Structure formats: structure tokens, C-alpha cells
Amino acid sequence: MMNSLLSPKQQRAICSQLGRVKLQLLYKASVHGFTGAAFHQRCDNQGPTVSVGFNATGHVFGGYTRQGFSQSGQYVCDDQAFVFTFHGENLLKYPVTTPAYAVRMNVNSGPYFGEALILMYKSKARVYSGPGNYYTFNAEDMHGNNLKLTECEVYQVQESTELEKEWRTTIWDSQKRKELMDSIQVYKPIISFVSQVRVLLIGPVGAGKSSFFNSVNSVFRGHVTSQAIAGCSQLAGLTKQFRTYSIKAGREGKPLPIILCDTMGLEESTGAGLDTDDINSILKGHVPDRYQFNPSAPLHSEAHNYQTSPELKDEIHCVTYVIDAFKMSIMTQTLEEKLNDIRTTVDLMGIPQLVLLTKVDEACPLVKENVRKVYKSIYIKEMVQEVSERLNLPLSCVVPVKNYSEELELNPDCDILLLSAVTQMLRFADNYFDELSDKLGKISMKKYWCNI
């Protein structure tokens, strides 16, 4: 493996001029030879490149072109080309002044920037320097007037899908997984007469609502399981009933302090999918477990199974929208409007809201290869930002997850994402209970002052 002479900071400085890219070392003269033939063999037809020269006085300099190298002998036009030098870690950039002569495809030389800067001139370890010929720079600043090369490197400029640092810090180890599981199991709502937080899952057909319950259940069971009916249907969702799912800590363990409420999927057309009136009834605790949805006729107060006097423990304490990251970009305006109508209703009721961005592995090859890179993925970060903007919710309310679908064994990294999502649900529910406690406290104080 070839080692780059460019420091990581110098590479970042170059990449900052080019957008979201990374540099892949193609050619190193000390390894492949200080000749035009060796350079062209490694670097022709490789697309955009950065060429870098190093000399004995410590100068680091070179040029960028988006045009792939060849041996045509012709000049090529490139209005984005530039030459550069480093002063320490700082990059000085000199854009091309005559784009039509930006780069010449010379057979007997290395990277050839418009008669102004040529690395490995005439297949020798030397530099040709001609400031003012299509690029304007100061020779002393560029290379210290030392034209002897000690090294020449050429990098392919590749579009990058990965950030250097996680944009949301996550600890990926077994201890963190255990801590998350333990904290969920010992959680208690701050309002004593509510023993389990009720979280409503809402989302389009096939987004992964039932799969999320199955996945969380799998984590606590210790193996992949499938209690809720889940799958993929292009015509209609598989969930037809309102279901409340309690999760046990192990096969015969105690129920966890959270209930996941699964609903029929949202659909675009009128009279199909979950009705917004039913959502209102669910939020207020009127809808019983196993209620059969009827899109053309929502549940009404005269129905025999309508819960007329629900308690706080029957109401919804956190609403979670489940959105498929793979299909986010093609979400229709009609569906987006439905989600925003629901969000407005939930807002008015003061219930906290969260978004699960599912199927992140299907949406991003980087994450498919390694789930731990979910917070290094540029694409997933952009999806989180898009969901935040389209649903008008803060970025901190959007949580990427990967449900279990085809796996037969648990993956600790998937578990950490799933457990983190559940933890956020409990935290958001705490916010709701805090607000409620404040209101109840004020009402109690008002009654006290009225009675004295």
C-alpha cells in the first residue's frame, strides 16, 4: 500500500476547494518512476485529479483539473482548473486565467498545467515553471525557485459519501448496548398512575412500523422474532387493526415500561388507509386494542367498543412517525400534507413527536456495508435534514434505525440504534409528563386558594 506524503490537514484543505470529495492515491513517482510513461499508465482516463509536487526545500505544490489525463498531445479546456501551493497547512490557490489552455496532454511529461507548471518535465524529476502563462503566481511562493522534485503524487478525486467524523456521536460497544437495555427496563414514568408509556407509530404503508416493534422485541428476547405481522405490499399495508404491543424483558420477563401502538398505514387516496379522525380517537385513548380499521367510516362515540372515559394511561404520550429513508425522496405532496395535518393536530394536543428514519441500509450502500457508518453517511444526514424540513420538526427529533428484516441473528450495532430510538421515546414522554405535572400542580394550587 502506498503512503501519501500529503498530511490529512493538507488533504482536507484541497478537498475543501472541491466539495464533498476524497482523494485516492493513483501514482507515486518514487514507486512507479519519474517518467511520463509511468504517469500516464497509472493516471490516464481517471477523471478529475489533484497532482502534487514535493521538493527539497519543503515546498508542496501542484494543480487540479477535472479533465481526465490522456496522451493526445492537445490542450483541453477546464474553467475549474487551478494550481496551488501550501504555506504550512494553508493552501494558496491560483485559478486558471485562460481556460482553453488549462491542461496539456503531453506524452513525455507528467501533469502539465498550461505551460505554467509542469511536474516531471520531459520525464525527469524536475519542474518547469512559467508564471503568467495561463496561470498567474509568484514562483518564490509556489516552489521557492527549487525546480528539483523529490516526489510527485497524483490523486484521483472521488465523490465522497462518508464524513470524517460522526455528525451525531454514538458509542458502539457491548457495554453501551447493555446500558441502554438496563435504562429502559428500570424506567418509570414520573406520573405514578401511569406504568407504561404509550407510543403511537404512524407512517405510510410499508415504512416499517410493525417491523420496528418486532425488532425491538427481538433485542429484548435475545433472538430475531416476528410477533407483529410485517412485510411489504405495494397495494396495502398488512396491519388492519389497532394493536397495542407490550415488550417483555426476556421470554418470561416483566413487561417493559413502554407500549408500542401500531396502526394502519397512511395512503394517498381518500377513503384508503388510516383515517385522520381515527388518529384523533387513538390519541385521546378512545380506541381499544384490536379495533378493526374502516377507512370509509372512522370510529364514532356511539360504537359499542368505543372507550368513552379513557384515563391518562390509555392516551398516547409520544407520537412517532415512521418514514422509509429509501422512499423519502419520492414521497408525494399528498402524503406529505397528510403527515403535516396530523403533526398540526398532535402539536395542538401538546404531545411530543419523533421520527424514525427506517431502512437506512437500503438507502445508503455505506450503511449497508457497515451500520456503524450511519452517522458518517452524508446521504443519511441529508435525509435527516430533508425529513426535518418537510415535517417541520427539529433535527434532534429524527432518529435513523435499521429494523430486522432478513436477518436470523441479532446485530449489536442495529440493537444500539433501536435501543437509542426507544430511549428517545421515553425521554420525550417524560417531557410530556413534566408539562402535565406542571398543569396539574397549577390546577391543585388554584383549587387550594379558592377553598381558603
For residue 87, how many other CB atoms are within 10 A of its CB? Answer: 10
Give the pLDDT of residue 266. 82
Distant-in-sequence, close-in-space partners of 164: CB < 8 Å, separation ≥ 6: 12, 376
Q: What is the pTM of this model?
A: 0.71
Distant-in-sequence, close-in-space partners of 117: CB < 8 Å, separation ≥ 6: 61, 62, 63, 83, 127, 128, 129, 130, 135, 142
Give the pLDDT of residue 322. 96
> Residues 204, 433: contact at Cβ < 8 Å?
no
Secondary structure (H, E, C), 264-323: CCECCCCCCECCHHHHHHHHCCCCCCCEECCCCCCCCCCCCCCCCCCCHHHCCCEEEEEE
Give the pLDDT of residue 223. 93
Give the pLDDT of residue 107. 93
Give the pLDDT of residue 287. 85
pLDDT tens-place values along the chain, 452 residues long: 689 999 989 998 999 899 888 899 999 999 999 999 999 999 999 999 999 999 999 999 999 999 999 999 999 999 999 999 999 878 999 999 999 999 999 999 999 999 999 999 999 999 999 999 999 999 999 999 999 999 999 999 998 888 889 999 999 999 999 999 999 999 999 888 899 999 999 998 889 999 999 999 999 999 998 876 655 444 444 557 788 999 988 877 889 999 999 888 887 666 565 777 788 889 999 988 888 876 666 677 777 777 888 999 999 999 999 999 988 877 888 888 889 999 999 999 999 999 999 999 999 989 999 999 999 999 999 899 999 999 999 999 999 999 998 899 999 999 999 999 999 999 999 999 998 887 766 544 344 334 43
**Domain residue ranges in the chain:** 8-159, 174-450
Which class does domain 174-450 fall in?
A: alpha beta
**255-262 and 117-119 beta bridge pairing:** unpaired
Alpha-carbon distance 198 to 289, whole Å? 12
What are the cell numbers at 334? 399528498
